[in-house]
């Protein structure tokens, strides 16, 4: 089995070349995926905001329908009490 190549760092410490390559590959992977990750977070935030807006609209519509039903019932009661 071949011995891994080693290199000397700037401060004179011997560093295994495989470790250096692994760290470099990880850094490239993180930097390469960061744009997509940021875009995914932005899209998820937008979808959540849209869902909250639709939920708010539904709750408002439901409340308006309840008020409408109450108004119709009160108007019918008033008409019947006049007769």
Domain boundaries, the chain: 14-82
Q: Exposure of 35 by Cβ count < 10 A (0-12 exposed, 13-18 middle, 19+ buried)?
A: exposed
Average confidence (pLDDT) over 61-81: 94
pTM: 0.53
Q: What is the pLDDT of residues 8-26, one digit of tens each?
A: 656 667 778 888 888 888 8
Q: Which residues, in sequence order, are CB contacts of 38 under 8 Å at separation 6+?
A: none
pLDDT at position 79 is: 92
3-state secondary structure of 13: coil
Rounded Cα gap, residues 25 and 12, in angstroms: 23
Rounded Cα gap, residues 30 and 81, in angstroms: 75
Give the pLDDT band (50/70/90) at residue 62.
very high
């Amino acid at each position: 089995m071949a011995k891994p190549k080693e290199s000397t760092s700037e401060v004179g410490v011997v560093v295994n070349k495989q470790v250096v390559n692994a760290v470099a590959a990880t850094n490239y992977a993180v930097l390469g995926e960061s744009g997509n990750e940021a875009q995914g977070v932005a899209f998820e935030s937008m979808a959540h905001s849209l869902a909250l807006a639709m939920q708010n609209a539904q709750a408002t519509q439901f409340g308006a329908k309840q008020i409408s039903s109450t108004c119709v019932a009160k108007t019918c009661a008033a008409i019947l009490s006049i007769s």
